[in-house]
Amino acid sequence: MAEQIKLVALDLDGTLVEHGGKVVTPRLIEAVKEAKKQEVDVVIATGRHRTTSLSIAETLEVDHLITLNGGEVWTTRGELLLRQSIQHDDVEKIISQFERLDSHFWLVSDQGVFQRQLPDNYQEHEWIKFGFDILDEKLRDEAARYFSAIQTLELTNSSPTNIEINKRGTHKRQAIEYLLESRHLDFSQVMAVGDSMNDIKMIEHAGFGVAMGNAQAEVKEKARFVTTRFDEDGAALAIEKMLSGDF
């Protein structure tokens, strides 16, 4: 397996750190360093915005950062390589649900992250991702049905209670494929590690998909290996096993 894998894609929240966490473990830092020594590239693939994930990417000394569930691809030096924006009419359909859902929501555009507020000049923004945290299961299911009926939107989650929305076809797998093309690699040469539904496509299609011990059940079902939890260095363990040929 070590000879086959040329790129490792790592989710952040629930995979490398707790949700919202900023500090990775020395064991993970060492595992990533060893992967790079063995000419295995490592990229971060997260639902977070660049501003809240860059410090981890820099600590791990990786070159590329997939953010907003694949909505953007950056170099850690700050060069934007790819952006996938939601169509303006779809933005209006999403916004129309704010009052009805009455939940915590966040919006991400080319001009930044907005929490529970829509800027007055929102029509001048390029909107990349919307998120809703809906604790009421019935209301969450109703919202998911409404958004799923819009064929130009992509729905996923980064926790069991939220809904995250991107442009149709925007996901971590697609963003990884974008990076693979310039390297003349394919998905069979990828190991993907994650815990939530926004990781499932990259895990399912990777040459070797790894689910965290704390992953959602559907993610575990699609993985070839279930490692330990994020707070037990599960991602580092998976990298170590891959490099040593234990897979």
Q: Concatenated DSSP letters for 60-115?
A: HT-SEEEEGGGTEEEETTS-EEEE-PPPHHHHHHHHTTHHHH-SEEEEEETTEEEE
For the entire predicted model, the pTM comes to: 0.95
Task: Assess if residue 100 is contained within a domain.
Answer: yes
Q: What pLDDT was estimated at residue 140?
A: 96
Q: What pLDDT was estimated at residue 228?
A: 99
Count of structural domains, the chain: 2
With contact defined as beta carbons under 8 Å apart, do 9 and 192 qualify?
yes
Q: What pLDDT was estimated at residue 99?
A: 86
Q: What pLDDT was estimated at residue 75?
A: 98
* Boundary of a domain, candidates 111, 146, 167: 167
- Residue of 11, 41, 195, 233 marked catalytic: 11
Q: Concatenated DSSP letters for 4-29?
A: T--EEEE--BTTTBSTT-----HHHH
Residues with Cβ within 8 Å of 120's Cβ and at least 6 positions away in sequence, in order, are none
Looking at residue 126, which CATH number applies to its domain? 3.30.1240.10
The reply to whether 11 belongs to the active site is: yes
Task: Let me know whether 114 and 46 are in one domain.
Answer: no
Task: Assess if residue 212 is contained within a domain.
Answer: yes
Q: What pLDDT was estimated at residue 102?
A: 83
Task: Let me know whether 72 and 178 are in one domain.
Answer: yes
Block means of pLDDT (10 residues each) for the chain, 247 residues, are: 88 96 98 98 98 98 98 98 98 94 94 94 98 95 96 96 97 98 96 98 98 98 98 98 92
Task: Let me know whether 125 and 76 are in one domain.
Answer: no
Residue whose entry in the numeric block shows the structure tokens 């790079």? 36
CA 195/CA 214 separation, integer angstroms: 7
Q: What pLDDT was estimated at residue 119?
A: 95
